[in-house]
Structure 1
């Protein structure tokens, strides 16, 4: 059995690097007492560590070729590294290991699932699993009649008096194989006549109808199949993709899991659904009936327009109705039965809605944990941050895209918002913690508080390095040379998430998403609202531009859908969307062309009930086709009721009931008019997100600018105490702050790449040690002399020990073994420190490729894995002789390069095998060696300090 682990105490988690509290001539006893005091303080200040506050990971089970011994070993490693849970995702297997494969949901597979969950629990972890293999949902249980469907339309031309000679049957032989059925035949004359002649087609496809006169075009609609198979399917999971729009198909799919699970959940916390990648699935057998029930008219009469790409108003309106119907069917026929199935077994659901053909806000909100996704890398102007152009995807992650998931959670009162994080952040084997840190910070700033790595691959102990690997990066496995220092990065995420899962989100604005403008496009059929297409459906919109401007100005916001507006209420002037949801102060309606009458009516009702509504511009028109003129007239009448008066500064005002509507092209001026204050701290370039707690607020601040920031930032509350919390080190301390006029001004010091948490509360913080601010930097003291370099762990071979008078990359040592090496190297140096005459000392490692663990005089300073590679070390330094040890881990890249140059076969998988970031065959042999090791210069800088305190005035 595996070694049984317990959750690390918060004390250990939060005190990896201690704040420098030591005075210039303090004795070791005094220093140790100060350190103990700081440890106790840190443990008391940080929120409790739970499974969910730790990062989790997707856990690829290749071929489900798993066994108890390796599960024990790997869960032990994952828990030790600081992971809180795994998300099982069975996929294709490795060649040559077929005898180990276990069929998905077989009795053997269920037994190993049960074993995994039990042992994960003993290790302080939890387990989620995808409810299928690969993606999207599908498998051998999906028969053709329940497979993802597509509309097939064939046309025939007829003249008056002629009979159609050919039979009306689907022509594609591949569609004939899957039982394609005829659903409608519509006849259109050149004079505009339309006839439904479906009942004139016999069972054999013969048409028993002929027009008397004129030229006619017949449109025959068939319920076909996409024939898409599950992507990256595992053994026992190969089959057709599910028809998510059909309740019958979904029920049949879930029945397969009922047979395997019974009425139990086998300890699975959440069942998970990946991003909607059901391509070409634009139909379902019951679509005509569902459309008429939901939209109020017969879609068959517009079959010609439905398949048209003409840029006409009627085509655009019809497509909008069609897409709205598809989204509703997905919500009603897939999400509701799926939720019900999981909840009946005391599990929850987790889902990525992006890519779906529906309103993303409503679809994210339909599950227990909405999950977004980062794909590719972002640009951050942090000096020294590596971003190799050859390793960059073409669409950067966008924080506003991520906010669709967090908004859905906030507005429905759900605390957890997850993210599939770091997918293709960089090329295989080249991604560092320093690149990951600002990327995950951007995710946090978007409202996410439950990070999942993408991902970790299960690999048996007997498989040679690098073990089994998934075809898409990140490849953070125990074989990764960075793994020995993984806990440092996980501790950072854990600290941040412990704060971001506390209380409630604190966003004052609601911004309406005009989905009908997105849907009202004549091109195409179903509209998959995808992450990769944000340049088309998101970036050009005024909704996006307005949201981005507001966020940059320092406002916090969530997005709201038409459905959510209907369910909203007003309490004491605040807009409430659910019992556990945060209160929002203002509803903003950005410029849009199309808005349903019901939505505008509800907006006006909310204002009447006491809400403040700011309208950038009234909608021009209603969406859709049915009863168009009647609805247009109703919209016109509603707009006529909106009688605004001039309030000055370009703002027009209408008081109604207990609230009001403001019409303003400049939304920010209207917010100022209403006294809705932005967080002016954003003027410094700092980014932030807030959480509301019982006695105050948390502010999570990030410096992604190219400059160090040392300034006083204003907070929009009056606080009696402000505690600074450093999530990099775990250190805490009472801030230097003043309170006046319902504002709290707090001094912050943040270098590029650093983050900081402010806990501002209405109560005192008795007994807290003050935060030590760094003042008046002295001349940096370079750590010089002879460095002893010993390669401690890695391969393919351990290079010979080195003596270095000048720090340089391992690839420049003139040693081929060092050039090919991936692993850890230990640097040791003894240096002389003049008599200590400063109050604080900061160690700066300079350039590190890629992560470092530091000891000074035998005491661990901590793991420094991102820019800036710095730590306060005053309490460890002593006058005279000092010994510094730095363990540096490099990337896997150089060892993989060496293997490819030597043509050593290490990748041999079924299905997609292994591809590079551009989805082409992977070949590292052409790479240049990646810099590795400690490059320096290593310096120690003396500072004077000033202590934090809070003062207030009226």
Structure 2
């Protein structure tokens, strides 16, 4: 029989703990005090965190100091700011190099890694275990992930049980299990028989008549750590058990023996603990939290035809599981890490809990992009065969960024490009808009998924993780990686400066999700957003307001309880976060305490917009009287008609009831950013009154217009993040609004800095005009293959530029690597005031350009254009273009020739649909430059 343990803290204690994260207790780092040290016309400083980071797969832990040193130097040179070590399964044939996780030899490699990274000013994060989720050999069966197995019996006086009390689930019966609870029901009479079981057929209980019995067996889920590394195999942890979590943390405490490595953060992957819906003391905790014994209502909870009662019971079940996950795992884990001077980085999605509160309880909330999105950008490739069956939704990322913003944490990370496309077929031009979409959702600390530790001496394609995107030093795009990373660094330096600048907070009615009558455990996964997110008014209103040009964050019930009012605005994170309006979308269920908190905020001066009157209270216990209390509370508001709905003055603030939220916001005078009407998307940061706008054009049409900005200034600075170009914009200045000319072709991005004053030492931005002078770069072209394989094709002279895969040369068809296109062009007298652009046409897939021996930069995304102003001269100009293609053609060659390259333990290697991988039937992917190449002169 399983024994029960102590219960969780009360809801008041949970609120105190979550609130502590807001003010910087429990190690949750608040935004540091900042001064406006950003100079107009200059990019914010390059920092460790403004550079991109990556997950770093240690395959088989087969690492050595020589390769660690070499790889870290390669990574730093490529522009990476840090790595997250994730030990996983290894490659076959290298077993003699495998190191046991946490062994002295492994610890020595970790310490060497940290020391070398520190010398390069790189950071290191560490997955706390191997593979995912948390677990391993230190997790005993009784502390492993648990589930409840429900079996129904009948008992008749004089005859006893209809069958033995044994676990009938054959799979579960083979794992650690036990009878946890036995309940008897006869009409309104309920008896707990858990202590009356003599053996599987006999009860120390005599009762008259016929009874329905429900047995709850506690059983292991049996889930093992996925993709475990040597020394890391074992059961997945019971995240709901404080005892199991503490034992798990103690294991690492002892393993490091007070000599904790100088890592930055411990990391936890998405909650993929499948089937885990129970723990030993669940019923006791439930009774303490919800005020009644759930065991008295098991027939309704597990009713075959769910009704309102079962939905309420399930809501209470889900809320309790959430609180146990928060109080027994997320918070203690963060406190433990902080006690050792480390942070926590966590993906809350996938868990059966309130994502906002779970994200808020760690130091660096992390989202995830999974699959590829559709963008109407002309020329962007998105092959149907290389697409996962789920589209990423940037609104999902806002759960992580909102939690960070409301609790004063500056960094919001993301596991980026998981299964962006099929292996070896994803280019920077496809990755760029996907990442930009994450930036727009509030992410500012991206992690590649990922880079594998791959020794220098391993043949192409190196060691690889089974899920793309794979970027390692063997990748043909690697020499151009630093160009893409420089773009990311510039953008992230802006998005990490200042504080988020949003007008609206949108309440997330999580109780509507928890009241789903179907099933029991409710895992809020990235892959299930069509069920739990997309159909909701919360999602629809959030998307509508963002599409209209408002910035917003999501708030939970606990976050609302911690809000303050300052000068008529909502305030959080000790005054470092502000918003003007709280919007309550249509909500089926809302706690009375939340409505009380909302009205109290209005009394203090806050403005609240309700889309509809709250309909009901969540949960089962005493819900009729709680419903009456909610109704009474709402009826205390006296509404008057307004053009945009009904409005009730409440103290110094107001409560508005309207189905048209946008119309109400306009009626309140809240200003949106009308640039969205031109197809632009944006995110805005505040630097003590100055503003940063990050703009992207993901539409199918170019934008060349004077666009209004909500914030006025004497000057506006344009900052182009791909090459780092800066200049003062053409504009019309005003005190409350500035109108700025913006030129953005589909696929381009731009940073706008609205400074305080007019910096006079910045040159004016050079705009393109509609009728440029065009100088074609005609043939002949010299094409020479640089580095790659399987063999280096012979040099060739081309009469006109074309992809090397158009050559009648099998070596060129199979080649993956870099090749050099060389030519020259002639210009007349240089116009000192003109803008000179190199138009490359179609690039397959990335280009690095030199003119007259000087490096111009990288063209890795649409529209494949570089500003060459200042690099050209009158007369002859030498042009050198290094093009890197994808790995696909060379991998195709390997499979066509039965050359073994995928040979891994465990999952080995799969395609995007998790089937056997085989590239032998692939078509040749075009590689090189198709052009046309020209020089545009904009006088």
Where does residue 69 of structure 2 map in the other structure?
72
Task: State the match for 2:762 in structure 1.
Answer: 768
Once the two structures are superposed, residues 556-594 of structure 1 have per-residue CA deviations (whole angstroms, 9 ceiling, x without a partner) of 000000011111111111111221541111000001111
Distance 2:716 2:774 in 1: 31
Q: Distance in 1 between matches of 2:398 and 2:270?
A: 16
Instruction: Please report how far the alpha carbon of residue 651 of structure 1 lies from its aligned counterpart in structure 2 after TM superposition.
Output: 1.4
- Paired residues for 1:380-395 under 5 Å: 380-395=375-390
Rounded Cα–Cα distance in structure 2 between residues aligned with 1:47 and 1:469: 35
Report what 1:668 is aligned to.
662
Rounded to whole Å, the distance in 2 between the matches of 1:262 and 1:509 is 47
The question of whether the paired residues in 2 share the 8 Å contact of 1:785 and 1:831 is answered with no
Mapped contact 1:783–1:938 kept (Cα < 8 A): yes
Q: Matched residues in 2 for 1:516 and 1:205: separation?
A: 41
CA 1:525 to 1:730, structure 2 compared with 1: closer, same or farther past 3 Å? Answer: same
User: CA contact under 8 A between 1:137 and 1:230: conserved in structure 2?
Assistant: yes
Which residue pairs with 1:933 in the alignment? Answer: 928
Contact 2:512 2:587 in 1 (8 A): yes
Residues 423 and 469, structure 2, Cα contact 8 Å, conserved in 1: yes
Map of 2:183 onto structure 1 = 186
1:453-602 equivalence runs, <5 A: 453-579=448-574, 581-602=576-597
Aligned-pair CA distance for 1:708: 1.3
Counterpart residue number, 1:93: 90
Q: CA deviation at 1:172?
A: 4.1
Give CA-to-partner distance per residue, 1:603-654, whole Å, 9 cap, x none. Answer: 110100110001110111111100111111111111211221112x241111
In 1: Cα distance, 2:690 partner to 2:174 partner: 64
Is residue 920 of structure 1 aligned with residue 915 of structure 2?
yes
**1:362-511 correspondence to structure 2 within 5 Å:** 362-511=357-506
Conserved 8 A contact 1:264-1:345: no
Find the residue that maps to 2:767 and give its secondary structure.
strand
Q: CA deviation at 1:380?
A: 0.7
Partner of 2:694 in structure 1?
700
- Deviation by residue 1:224-253 (Cα, 9 ceiling, x = unmatched): 110100000001100000000000000001
Give the match's secondary structure for 1:866: coil
Match of 1:628 among 603, 623, 631: 623
Aligned-pair CA distance for 1:880: 2.8
Q: CA RMSD in A?
A: 1.5
Q: Distance in 2 between matches of 1:393 and 1:843?
A: 35
Matching of residues 41-60 of structure 1 within 5 Å: 45-60=42-57
2:20 equivalent in structure 1: none
1: CA distance between counterparts of 2:488 and 2:497?
Answer: 14
| Conserved 8 A contact 1:811-1:931 | yes
Paired residue for 2:8? none
Q: Matches of residues 735-750 of structure 1 in structure 2 within 5 Å?
A: 735-740=729-734, 742-750=736-744
For 1:205 and 1:735, locate their aligned partners in 2 and report how far apart those are by CA, in whole Å.
84
Instruction: Work out which of the residue numbers 201, 207, 214 in structure 1 matches 2:203.
Output: 207
SS at match of 1:721: coil
The correspondence for 2:883, drawn from 882, 888, 900, is 888
Q: 2:161 aligns with which of 159, 164, 173?
A: 164
1:503-535 Cα distance to aligned partner (Å, 9 max, x none): 101111000000000110111111110000000
- For residues 3-14 of structure 1, what are the structure 2 equivalents within 5 Å? none
Q: Does 1:908 align with 2:873?
A: no
Structure 1 residue 682: deviation in Å? Answer: 1.2
Q: Secondary structure at the match of 1:774?
A: coil
Inter-CA distance 206–385: structure 2 relative to 1 (3 Å threshold): same
Q: Does the aligned pair in 1 maintain the 2:153–2:163 contact within 8 Å? A: no
What TM-score does the superposition give when structure 1 sets the normalisation length?
A: 0.93
- Whether contact under 8 Å (1:230, 1:240) holds in the other structure is yes
Paired residue for 2:288? Answer: 293
For residues 285-319 of structure 1, the C-alpha deviation after alignment (integer angstroms, 9 at most, x for no partner) is: 00000100111110111222333352311111111
Alpha-carbon distance in 2 for matches of 1:428, 1:184? 49
Q: Does 1:688 align with 2:685?
A: no
Q: Counterpart in 1 of 2:647?
A: 653
Determine if contact 2:360/2:403 at 8 Å carries over to the other structure: yes
Find out whether 1:329 has 2:324 as its counterpart: yes
Per the alignment, residue 301 of structure 2 pairs with 306
Report the more deviating stretch, 203-212 or 788-797. 203-212
Contact 1:787 1:827 in 2 (8 A): yes
Equivalent residues of 1:695, 1:763 under 8 A apart: no
**Alignment-derived partner of residue 605 in structure 2:** 610
Displacement after TM superposition at 1:265 (Å): 2.8
Preserved contact between residue 427 and residue 917 of structure 1 (Cα < 8 Å): yes
Which is further off, 196-205 or 778-787? 196-205
Q: Which moved more, 1:876-885 or 1:842-851?
A: 876-885
CA distance in 2: counterparts of 1:934 and 1:148, whole angstroms: 53
CA distance in 1, matches of 2:455, 2:349: 34
Task: Work out the number of aligned pairs and report it.
Answer: 901
Match of 1:733 in 2: 727
2-structure distance, mates of 1:347, 1:260: 16
Give the corresponding residue for 1:125.
122
Aligned to 2:25: none
Query: Structure 1: which 5+ residue stretches go unaligned?
Result: 1-40, 945-954
Q: CA deviation at 1:188?
A: 2.5
SS at match of 1:583: strand
Contact 1:277 1:355 in 2 (8 A): yes
Q: Secondary structure at the match of 1:86?
A: strand
Deviations 1:865-915 (A, max 9, x none): 110111122422233322211000000000000100101000100111100
Q: TM-score, normalised by structure 2?
A: 0.94
One of 781, 792, 816 as aligned partner of 1:822: 816
For structure 2, the 5+ residue unaligned runs are 1-37
User: Are residues 309 and 84 of structure 1, via their aligned partners in 2, closer, same or farther at CA, if it must alter by over 3 Å?
Assistant: farther
Please give the alpha-carbon distance, in whole angstroms, between the structure 2 residues aligned to 1:364 and 1:263.
Answer: 28
Aligned to 2:912, what secondary structure does the other structure show?
Answer: coil
Question: Are the counterparts in 2 of residues 414 and 581 from structure 1 also a CA contact under 8 Å?
Answer: no
- 2:671 counterpart residue number: 677
CA distance in 2, matches of 1:313, 1:166: 32
Could you list the per-position Cα deviations for residues 360-403 of structure 1 after superposition, in whole angstroms to 9, with x for gaps in the alignment? 00001110000000000011111100110111111111111010
Equivalent in the alignment of 2:109? 112
Matches within 5 A, 1:248-327: 248-327=243-322
After TM superposition, give the deviation of residue 126 of structure 1 in Å: 0.9
Superposition deviation, residue 203 in structure 1: 5.6
Give the distance between the partners of 1:871 and 1:579, measured in 2 at CA: 44
Deviation of residue 834 (structure 1)? 4.1
- Mean Cα displacement is larger for which, 627-636 or 191-200? 191-200
**Greater displacement, 409-418 / 96-105:** 96-105
1:840 counterpart (835, 841, 848): 835
